Amino acid sequence: MPHQTIWLNGELVDREHATVSVYDHGLLYGDGCFEGIRAYNGRIFKLESHLDRMERSAEKLRLTPAFSREAIRDAIRRTLDANGLTDGYIRLIYTRGAGTLGLHPFRCETPGTIIIADSIQLYPKELYEQGMHVIVARRPRIPAQCLDPSVKSLNYLNNILAKVEAIDAGVLEAIMLNYEGHVAECTGDNIFAVRNGRLVTPPPEAGILLGITRQFVIDELAPSCGLEVEQRLFRLDELLDADEVFLTGTAAEIIGVSRIDDRVIGSGVVGPVTAQLIEAFRSRVAREAPEN
């Protein structure tokens, strides 16, 4: 295993020494939050947007980070440098910290902070060219009234169990519906449909994580390609009848869907709109990945 350095609670340490307490509530109860962030050519893609979302997640959990935003920003860059990475994946984690075996979160004195920088390849390269097969999970998305989906918490069990359904079906991703039967998101990605050259994606009220790459497509990529985006509720039958379907995520970037369950989407390959957006995304981040 190549040498790897982790930023842990203010210090850069070797991976084998990067440990947390067995009493940390992040481990015991999934009490904490995280961000997955990408670096391209030494620039950290949408860093400020990720830090904004991390702050919102922590605030909703009533978790006060141990370090300032400025310190975290600097630590992320130091961790990349320490691992010799200009292109890679960064995982920023806040845990509640070590406490008692009870649920009480405010008996944990000091929140934990972890930054990992590594390489990542979420899906095989050929799927970006051929499109990927996904399924519709039987397990619905947890209702927003029960668990705020805008909090990117350490408790991903709802997503993981849907992911297991996908793995059992021999694929790598599953679409999750909300309790009302509307399309929400995938286990780790947001979802878009293309109909008559127009993009449609579930709105926040569908019960989704507000993805950074999703917002980049809505605000910047789609307009630059002359594409309109509509955020609205829609059901599975509309998704199955779409001309194209694609997923977005920090690790996934943009990837086309060729089949949902046994239904072929469009022509069964990555469609022209999806291909245009993939090319636009890759061109933009290779040239100068926006950090804001």
At which of 70, 91, 118 does a domain end?
A: 118
Q: Residue 291 pLDDT > 90, yes or no?
A: no
Stronger pLDDT, 291 or 157, i.e. the higher one? 157
Do residues 103 and 144 share a domain?
no
Which CATH number fits the domain that encloses residue 266? 3.20.10.10
At which of 62, 84, 118 does a domain end?
A: 118
pLDDT tens for 84-94 read 999 999 999 99
Residue 155: predicted pLDDT: 94
Do residues 64 and 136 share a domain?
no
Do residues 20 and 163 share a domain?
no
At which of 74, 95, 118 does a domain end?
A: 118
Which CATH number fits the domain that encloses residue 29? 3.30.470.10
Domain count, the chain: 2
Residue 31: predicted pLDDT: 98
Domain that includes residue 56, residue range: 5-118
Tokens of 285: 């981040």
Average pLDDT over residues 232-249: 97
Do residues 87 and 203 share a domain?
no
Do residues 159 and 63 share a domain?
no
**Catalytic one of 46, 60, 125, 152:** 152
Q: What are phi and psi of 177, to 5 degrees?
A: -95, 155
pLDDT tens for 165-182 read 999 999 999 999 999 999
Active-site residue 60, yes or no?
Answer: no
Q: How confident is the model at residue 270 (pLDDT cuts 50, 70, 90)?
A: very high
pLDDT tens for 35-54 read 999 999 999 999 999 999 99
Q: What is the pTM of this model?
A: 0.95
pLDDT tens for 94-105 read 999 999 999 999
Longest Cα–Cα distance of the chain, Å, equals 56
Pairing of strands 198-201, 229-231: parallel
Do residues 107 and 231 share a domain?
no
Distance CA 210, CA 201 (A): 11
